[in-house]
Amino acid sequence: MKKNKNNRIILLAFALVVGLTSCKKWLDVNVDKDNPNNKSVLLQNRLPWIQHFYMYSAGVTNFRTASQAGVYYSNNANTNSITTTWKPAAGLTTTPYQTFFVTVSSNLTDMYDSAKEKGAYHYMAAANVFHALGFMQMLDLYGEMPYTDATYGNPSPKYDKGKVIYNGCMAKLNEAISLFSKTQEVGAPALTPGDMMHKGSVDKWIKLCWGLKARYMLKLSKKSDLYNADSLFYFLSKGPQSNADNAILPGLNNSMVLDYLIGDPVVTNGNFNYAAYGNNQRISQFHYNLLTNMRGAAVVDPRMTKIVPAMMTNVRLTNGRVSSFDWTRSIGVDSYGPSTRLLKSTAASIALPVYATANTPITYPIANAADRAAFIADLIAKGKTYSVSGNNVTVTYRAGSMYISSTNYVLAGDTAYVNMRSNAIATSGNAAQLENDVNWYANAQAHSAGVVGSTGSFQTRPVSDFEVLTYHEMCFIQAEAEMRRGATGAAHLAYRRGVEAHINMMQAKLTEWQSTYGSSNPDMRPMNQADITSYLSSAAVVQSAGDLTMRDIMLQKYIAMGCSIENWNDMRRFNYSAGNIGGFGIVYPGYDRGPLFTGTAELPGGAKTDPRYWMRRWRLPATLELQYNTTNVLAINPHANQLYIWSLPVWWDCATDQEYEGYLQ
C-alpha cells in the first residue's frame, strides 16, 4: 500500500505512451503532453490497462490457489509449499496484492470520477465491475483488507472486515447494472474502443454483473441467515445464458513488448504468466485422476489430452531433424497419496529434462540390489539401451531424446512428468520460434530439430482465453443450488448442461486454434466428436438424477474451472474432504495432507473437522502491510502476523458472524 500513489503515476504514464495512437488524441485533451497526469488519460485508454492488470493479478491468484486446491504440483519452492508440504511460504502472498492495489485499484476511482464528469456511465459501470472482481479476490485471499480507505492514495489505510468488503462489492455490482442500463450523455466516449472483454456489448456486461452476484451469493452457502436461494436463482436468470455470453479477456502471441512495471508480455493470457511461463509446474495426480477415472469409471475424459501436456519420445533424427517419434502424455505428480517418488528425494525434487544433442551416456550408481533390479526392469519396459557393471547401470540416451542430466537414478524417470510450459515469442529466448508455434522446446537445438518438450495446457497457453466468468460456471452453480434444496431433477439437468457447456467452449476454441497451431501441436486440435459422445453417455457422467451427488457436481466443476480461484473457494465452502457439510458427504475424496506435510505451525488443527486443519486464507504481505501498516492490521486482527493465520477462516467461510468475530479476538 505504501507505493500506491507513485506507482499509479508510473502506470498512467505507461498507459499514455503505449495506449495512445497519435499525438492528435493527446492534443484533444488540452494538457501538456510532456507532463501526463491522472486526469489527462482518456477513458478508452485507461480501461484496457485496468483489464490487463486485473488479468495479471487474477492470473497469479488463479495459479497459486489452483495449486493449493490440488490442480497443479510445483517444484518452485514457494508454490511447492502449498502443493506438497502445506507449510505456506511468505513469498507467495505479495504479487496478487501488489499488482491489484498498485495497478488496478489505484486507477478505479480516477476512472469512475473522470467518466462521471463526462456522462460516460458505461465506463463508470466498468470501474465498478473491476472494483468488485478485485476486492472480492482480496477478501478471498486475505480476509480483512483496506477497503473503504483503500483507493484514495492513503499510504496507511485502515482495514475493514470481510462483511463490509463483501457488501461493498455487491453494492458496486448493483450500481453497475443501473449505470450500464443508462444511455450515455452526448459526447461521452463510447465503451467499444476501450473494451477488450466484451467489445462494448452492454448486454454482456450486464450479464457479467448478474453472474458475479450469483457467484458471490454462493460464497454464503454456510450462512443460513444470508444465503438466499431465491435471489441466487434470480441472479442466474439474468446472467450468462450460453457460451456466447462468456466474459473472457483475449490472450495473444503477436508482440515482443514487455510490461513496463512487471516485465512480462503485455498481450498474453494472465494464467500463462505464472502457470506456464517457467518450467516448474506439472499436473497433479489428484487432477489427473479426475480426468482419467471420474466416478471410478476408468473412462478417459476427452478433455484430458487438451489439459494434460505431452512431449515427444522415442525420437529418431534424420539429418538433424525429427523423422519419427511418439507423443507421450504426462502422468500426474502424487503429493496427496503415497507420494512414493517425492519421498525418495525431497518435496520439490521433480527434475526438468534436457535435450540430448548427441548420444549421451549416464551412469547411475545404485547400491541397493532391489532398487537396481527395479530400475533395470523399467529400462527394459521402455526399450532403453543400457549396460551393467557392478552397482553401476549406464544408460545411453539417443540424440534427440529428452533426459534428466543427473546420475541420481531416482530422478531418471522424471521425464514422465511433462512440465506445463508454453512458449510466447516475447519469452521463449528463441528468435527462430514463430508466432504460430507455442510449444515448449528445451533449447534452440531442440527447436531446430523439431523436438517438442511440452504441448502445454488448454487454459495456460499465451494464446488461451482468460476466463473471467463463464456459462458453465453458472450451470454448476445452479446444479449445486438445486441440490441444496433437494431438487435433484433440476440439479441433474444443470449438471449436464455444465459439463456440455465446458466441452463445447473448449471445442470452439480448439477449432479456432486448429488452422493456426494444429499442424505443430495436436493438443490444439479439436476433440474427436465420437469421444465426446461416448464420454457423455458413460458412467463417468451421471446418467440418472437419482444417482447424482454433490460430489459429482463439484468434481465436474473442478475440471471445468481448472486454473481458477473458485476451486479453492469451493473447497473451503465444503471443508475440503472433511465430509461435515449439510449431509453431502466427502465432496473432494483423496484431497488431504500428504506424507510430506510439515505445516504444523500454520495449520494447527488436529482433525479434518477442525476448520484449522486446512488452509483458509493467506497471510498478508510481510513488507507491504505487516511492516508498513502494522497498526491498522493488528487493530482489526491481532493474529494477522502469526503463522497460524493461514488456518483462520475468512468472513464468508464462517457460518455466523459470531464465529468469524471469534477468530478476530
Question: What pLDDT, in 10s, does the model give residues 445-476?
Answer: 999 999 999 999 999 999 999 999 999 999 99
Residue 39: count of CB within 10 angstroms of its CB:
12
Question: What pLDDT, in 10s, does the model give residues 99-137?
Answer: 999 999 999 999 999 999 999 999 999 999 999 999 999
Q: Reduce the secondary structure of 432-496 to three states and give it as a string.
A: CCCCCCCCECCCHHHHHHCCCCECCCCCCCCCCCEEEECHHHHHHHHHHHHHHCCCHHHHHHHHH
- pLDDT over 90 at 13, yes or no: no
Percent of the chain predicted with pLDDT > 70: 94
What is the chain's mean pLDDT, rounded?
93
pLDDT of residue 24: 30
Which residues neighbour 23 within 8 Å (Cβ) at sequence distance 6 or greater? 33
Which amino acid is located at 122 in the chain?
A: H
Question: What pLDDT, in 10s, does the model give residues 515-534?
Answer: 999 999 999 999 999 999 99
Which residues neighbour 312 within 8 Å (Cβ) at sequence distance 6 or greater? 322, 325, 326, 327, 328, 402, 451, 452, 453
Domain boundaries, given as residue ranges, for the chain? 281-449
Contact 75, 280 (CB under 8 A): yes
Question: What pLDDT, in 10s, does the model give residues 601-634?
Answer: 999 999 999 999 999 999 999 877 888 889 999 9
CA–chain centroid gap for 598, Å, is 25
Mean pLDDT for the stretch of residues 360-370:
97
CA 191 to CA 47: how far, in whole Å? 9
Question: What pLDDT, in 10s, does the model give residues 229-265?
Answer: 999 999 999 999 999 999 999 999 999 999 877 888 9
CA 155 to CA 604: how far, in whole Å? 34
CA 272 to CA 115: how far, in whole Å? 32
- pLDDT over 60 at 576, yes or no: yes
Question: What pLDDT, in 10s, does the model give residues 642-659?
Answer: 999 999 999 999 999 999
218: confidence class by pLDDT, cuts 50, 70, 90: very high
Question: What pLDDT, in 10s, does the model give residues 382-412?
Answer: 888 899 999 999 999 999 999 999 999 999 9
Mean pLDDT for the stretch of residues 155-173:
96
CA–chain centroid gap for 250, Å, is 15
Strand partners for 363? 394
Which residues neighbour 339 within 8 Å (Cβ) at sequence distance 6 or greater? 84, 594, 595, 596
Q: Between 57 and 11, whose confidence is greater?
A: 57
Mean pLDDT for the stretch of residues 554-571:
98
Question: C-alpha cell of 177?
Answer: 447494472
pLDDT of residue 150: 87
- pLDDT over 80 at 286, yes or no: yes
156: confidence class by pLDDT, cuts 50, 70, 90: confident
| Number of residues assigned to the chain | 665
Question: What pLDDT, in 10s, does the model give residues 198-217?
Answer: 999 999 999 999 999 999 99
331: left (phi over 0), alpha (psi -120 to 50) or beta: beta
pLDDT of residue 14: 39
Report angle CA 516, 520, 526 to the nearest 5 degrees: 65
Percent of the chain predicted with pLDDT > 90: 89
